[in-house]
Amino acid sequence: MMSFDPNAFLIISTASLIAISCGLLGVFMMLRKMSMTGDAISHAVLPGIVIGFFISGSQRGLEVIIGAGILGILATLMIDWFRKKAKVQLDASIGITFTLLFAIGIILINVLAYKVDLDQECVLYGEIAYLPIDLWITGSGMNLGPRITWLAVLNLILVLGFIVSLFKELSLTSFDEGFSLVIGLPAGAINLALMSMVSYTTVSSFEAVGAILVVALLVVPPATAFLWTKKLIPLIKITAGLGVIISIIGYYFAYWLDSSIAGMMVSVSGVIFLASAILKSKKPNFKFGTKIADKPFSI
Amino acid sequence: MITQVANPILEIHDLTVSYDQSPVLWNVDLSLPPGQLIGVLGPNGAGKSTLIKSVMGLVPPTSGHILIFGKELNSVRSKISYVPQRESVDWNFPASVLDVVLMGTYGKLGLFKRPGKKEKELSMECLEKVGMQAFFNRQISELSGGQQQRVFIARALAQEADLYLMDEPFAGVDMATETAIFQLLKEMTQEGKTIVVVHHDIHSAMNYFDWLIMLNLHLVASGPKNEVATEELLRKTYGGKLNLLSKVSELIRQTDFNPLKS
Ligand SMILES: Nc1ncnc2c1ncn2[C@@H]1O[C@H](COP(=O)(O)OP(=O)(O)OP(=O)(O)O)[C@@H](O)[C@H]1O
Ligand SMILES: [Mg+2]
C-alpha cells in the first residue's frame, strides 16, 4: 500500500476540481454543439491574459482574469457575428476567430517582452506539479495553503452556483433556442453568460493545466459520459465522476512515467473515451422487442 | 379574397419579410377573429413558417407591423403558445418527455424559479390530452416522429395560452391521433382560445377549420372556410403544381368536400 502523500492528494484534488468545473460547463457546450467554441475561447483569451499581465504586472492579478473574460466574450461575439451577419460557416468562423486572437496574443507577448515576463510554456501547458510550493501568503504573512487550489475551489463554487441557479434556462436554450426566445427567456444573454463562465474557468485553470489542455477537459468527459447515458442529470454526474477518475489515474501515470500531469490527464481521458466508444459500439441491443406498443387513443 | 374582422385577436398590417434581401412574404394584411380554429394552407416554400415566425418575433419584418390582442408581442408573450416544426430541434437531446412538456411552463415561471408539483401535474394532464402519458419518463431520443410531434403539442398546451400558433403539428401523426387532437383543439376554441394551424392535408383542413388563410408568397385568401374554400382560390394558392391541382379538383368534385353545399 502506498503511504499517504499530501502533495499527491493536493494535486489530485485540485485537478479533480478543475476537471469537474470544466466538465460541467462542457456538458452544456456539447449540448449546444459548441464544444469547439470552448476551444476557440481557450486560445482567444491569450491576448487578454497578456494585456492583464501588462496592466497588473503579475500573472496573478485580477486584471488577468478580467482581460481573459473580456476576450472570451469578444471571441464568442466574433464567432456569432461571422456566422450570422457574414454568413460564414460555424467551423470556419471558429477557426478564423481563435487563430487571429491567439496570434495577436503571441505578438503582444513579443512586443511587450520587456514588461511581460510571461512563461508561455506555463500558459499553454500549465504546471500543476509546482502547485504545492506555490502558496497563498496574506499581507500579514499568514500561509493559507496552495493558491491554485483556492482558485479551483472558488471556480467550482461559482460554476456550480451558475448551473444550479440557471439549470432550467440552460437546458431549454440548449434544446430549443427559438422556443426560449418565444416565451421571453433571454437566450442570448444566457449564452453569453455561459461563454463568460467558460472564459473565466479557462483562465482560472490555465496555470494548472494550461490554456490548451483545458479544452480536453471541456470536451472529452461530457462526450464520454454521453456514450453511457441519455439522461441529463446522470450525464452531469458521470462527467463529474470522470473528472475525478481522470485526475487520479493521470497523476499516478505521470508520476510513474515522470511526465506532465496535465498531459497525462488528457491522454487518460482520451483512452477512456476510446474504450467507451468501442464498448458501446459492440454492446448488443437487449431492448429490442420490449417496447410498449403505441396505441392510437380516443378522447 | 380577404375578410377583415372587427376586434381581431391577431392583426397583421402590410407585412413584408425577406431573407438576404429577397422578400418571401409580400404585403400580407389580415386580421383573425378570436375563438376559431384557423388553418394556414400553401405549398412548400410559400412562407407559412415565415409568417408564424414573424408573429412570434423570430424573424424581423422588413416592413409592416403585427398586433396581438391589440398589443405589441412583448407585453403578451405569456398568452401565446408556439409549436415549431419538429425538425427545428435535435431530438438526441438528453431529456425525458416530461422534461420537454415542463418547458411549456417556464415562461410563466420566469427566471431562476424551478418547476414544482403544480407544473408537473399540469404537464401530465397535457400529456394525457395527446395520449402520451404512458411515455412521460421515456427519453425523447427514443420516440417515433409522430410521438415527438405529440410531445411538442403537449408542451404548447402546457403554456395555457389564449392564442396558439402551430407549425405543421400533425406532420407524421397517425390519422386516429390527428382526429383526436383536432377534436381537442375544437373544444379549446369553444372555450374561447384561438388556434392557428399550418396544415398540409387539404381534405382534413376542409373538415376541421373554421377559417382559412391561403398563402403563396402573397396572401391569396383569409376568411371563413365556407367563403374561401373555392376551386379558384385553391388553384391560385397551389398554382402550377399539376399533381396537386388534379387532386384538388378531384376533392372538389366530392360532395362532402364542396363548401357551398355544407
Ligand atoms: N433561414 C432562411 N434563410 C434564407 N431563406 C429562407 C430561410 N428560411 C426560409 N427561407 C426561404 O423562404 C421561403 C419561405 O420559407 P418557409 O419556411 O416560410 O416556407 P413554408 O411555407 O413553411 O414551407 P414548408 O411547407 O416546406 O414548411 C422559402 O423559399 C425558403 O427557401
Ligand atoms: Mg414550414
pLDDT at site A1: 46
Q: Which of B50, B87, B202 to mutate to test the pocket of ligand 1 (most atoms within 8 A of CB)?
A: B50
pLDDT at site A264: 92
Among A31, A183, A229, whose Cβ lies nearest the Cβ of B106? A183
Nearest CA distance, B95 vs chain A (angstrom): 6
Are B31 and B12 contacting, i.e. CB atoms less than 8 angstroms apart? yes
Closest CA to B147 of B138, B159, B160, B158: B138
Q: Do A183 and B77 touch (CB under 8 A)?
A: yes
Can you tell me the distance from the alpha carbon of B79 to that of B69, in angstroms, rounded to the nearest whole number?
9
pLDDT at site A298: 45
Grid coordinates standing for A79?
464567432
pLDDT at site B215: 94
Q: Do B131 and A179 touch (CB under 8 A)?
A: no
State the ipTM, two decimals: 0.84
Residues of A with Cβ-Cβ distance to B155 under 8 angstroms: 179
Ligand 1: residues with CB < 6 A are B 19-20, 24, 42, 44-50
Q: How far is the CA of B188 from the centre of ligand 2 (A)?
A: 24
Closest CA to B177 of B142, B132, B212: B132
The ligand 1 atom nearest the CA atom of B85: 27
Grid coordinates standing for A200?
473565466
What is the tens place of the pLDDT at every residue in B1-48?
A: 888 888 899 999 999 999 888 889 999 999 999 999 999 999 999 999
pLDDT at site A174: 95
Q: Is residue B255 pLDDT above 70, yes or no?
A: no
Q: Is residue B245 pLDDT above 60, yes or no?
A: no
Note the ligand closest to the C-alpha atom of B51. Answer: 1
pLDDT at site B230: 84
| Domain edges within chain A | 6-219
| % of chain B at pLDDT higher than 90 | 64
A178 in contact with B at a CB cutoff of 8 Å? Answer: yes
Q: Do B114 and A298 touch (CB under 8 A)?
A: no
Q: Which domains occur in chain B, in start order?
A: 1-69+162-174+196-255 (3.40.50.300)
Residues of A with Cβ-Cβ distance to B183 under 8 angstroms: 299
**How many C-beta atoms lie closer than 10 Å to residue A13's C-beta?**
16
What is the tens place of the pLDDT at every residue in B157-207?
A: 999 999 999 999 998 888 888 998 899 999 999 989 999 999 988 888 888
Interface test with B, best of A34, A175, A235, A239 (most B CBs within 10 A): A175
DSSP state of B114: P
Domain A6-219: top CATH class? mainly alpha
| % of chain A at pLDDT higher than 70 | 89
Mean pLDDT, chain B, rounded, equals: 88
What parts of chain A have a pLDDT lower than 70? 1-3, 115-124, 211-212, 282-299
Can you tell me the distance from the alpha carbon of A231 to that of A235, in angstroms, rounded to the nearest whole number?
6
pLDDT at site B6: 87
Contacts of B105 (CB under 8 A, 6+ apart): B115, B119, B122, B123, B158, B159
Nearest CA distance, B16 vs chain A (angstrom): 20
Residue having the nearest C-alpha atom to atom 28 of ligand 1: B45
Residue B136's pLDDT band, with cuts at 50, 70 and 90, is: very high
A255 in contact with B at a CB cutoff of 8 Å? Answer: no
- B92: nearest CA in chain A? A230
What is the tens place of the pLDDT at every residue in A27-79?
A: 999 999 888 888 888 888 888 888 888 888 777 778 888 888 889 889 988 98
Mean pLDDT, chain A, rounded, equals: 86
Nearest CA distance, A133 vs chain B (angstrom): 41
